Structure 1
Amino acid sequence: MAEALNLAIIVVALLALFFLLKGRPKTRPLPERPGAGSYTPVPAGEPVLHWADGGGQFDVEVLGESRYRDTIRALAGDHGDARADARHKALLLPDDANPYEDKAVAVFVAGEMVGYLAPKDALALRQRLTRQDIPGALTSCDAAVRGGAVWEGKRLAYAVWLDLDLRN
């Protein structure tokens, strides 16, 4: 009798599991996002302001450079086995159409996209733009492409650093 009861419990449990799995609500597919590299904002016009308040510290790093490593390598110029420190002018474009980050700020050097500001840095820059009464405007600052030294026979990565003071 105990075996029959155990068998009945197992059958009921299996049927319940079957109906739970079969009858669960279907999940909606995730919205389609652009494929890798298919979305790039385009800066238009000239910058309305050049930020010159970083004091030559270059302590704001641009993120997402791995997607643009060939461009950044070219911007570093020829530096042999030593570390690069190539100076450029960067354009900072508030990117309201970015499908991944609603407060994004894209960074361009020599007309080429090199990455984005970190979310906290993008928010700080946007707050500064608002205080200057130029929200959403294209601005510029000095940039340094650093890195790329040879270490243990391998070339290290490059990074783009901006001369901006975003603490205010």
Structure 2
Amino acid sequence: MAEALNLAIIVVALLALYYLLKGRPKAPPLPARPGGGSYTPVPEGEPVRHWSDDGRFDVEVLGESRYRDTVLQLAGDHGDGPADARHQAILLPDDANPYEDKAVAVFVSGLMVGYLAPKDALVFRQLLAREDIAGQLTSCDAAIRGGGLWQGKRLAYSIWLDLDLKG
């Protein structure tokens, strides 16, 4: 009798668990990842200001590994040594970004290469607001560095911006 009661309890528990898992509402699907090609912001117009931090290049662009082929192209031919290619960067406050509501997209020579780090994006947006140019395109100089050969392998590239976010 005790075994039958235990078996009945187990069956009821399993049915309840099945009902809870099967009947719960489904979460909406996540949007496709930006690196997958489904989302890329498009800068429109000309930059309203060019920033400079006197050639310090202290602000790193994140996510450039998703744009590896583009960065490789922009780095140019630099042989076995590291690259130090200079370009103009366009900074686009990306309000439509599905992952970060305060994102700032970075384009180098017209090509998407990544984003500012979230904390840098917040500081940058505050700077835009102080200058009364919130939401507008601006530019700065960019340096593509790295990519030298080490033990027969090409090292990663990084992109640095000549942008003063320390205030």
Query: What TM-score, normalized by structure 1, do the two folds share?
Result: 0.91
Q: Which residue pairs with 2:124 in the alignment? A: 125
Deviation at 1:31, TM superposition (A): 3.4
Letter matched to residue 109 of structure 1: V
Partner Cα distance (1:27, 1:60) in 2: 43
CA distance in 1, matches of 2:27, 2:3: 40
Residues 1:78 and 2:77 are matched in the alignment: yes
Aligned ranges 1:146-165 → 2 under 5 Å: 146-165=145-164
Q: What does 1:24-103 align with in structure 2 at a 5 Å threshold?
A: 24=21, 25-34=23-32, 36-52=36-52, 54-103=53-102
Report the TM-score when normalising by structure 2: 0.92
- Establish whether residue 9 from structure 1 lines up as the match of residue 10 from structure 2: no
1:84-105 Cα shifts (integer Å, max 9, x gaps): 0111110000011111111110
Q: Give the drift of 1:32.
A: 4.6
* Alignment-mate amino acid for residue 21 of structure 1: Y
Instruction: Give CA deviations for 1:64-118 in whole Å, capped at 9, x if unaligned.
Output: 1111111111111111000001111100000111111111100001110000111
- Report SS of the residue matched to 1:62: strand
With 32-41 and 125-134 compared, the bigger mean Cα shift is at 32-41
Equivalent position SS for 2:105: strand
| Deviation larger for 32-41 or 99-108 | 32-41
Q: Residue type of the partner of 2:141? A: D
Q: Deviations over 1:107-158 (max 9, x none)?
A: 0011100001111111110000000001001000110000100001000111
Residue 146 of structure 1 aligns to a residue in which SS?
Answer: strand
Partner of 1:21: 18
Consecutive aligned runs of 4 or more in structure 1 exceeding 4 Å deviation:
none
Give the fraction of aligned pairs with identical amino acids, expressed as a percent: 64
Q: Distance in 1 between matches of 2:96 and 2:5?
A: 59
SS of the residue 1:100 aligns to: coil
CA–CA separation in structure 1 for the residues paired with 2:40 and 2:2: 65
Partners of 2:71 and 2:9 in 1: CA distance: 63
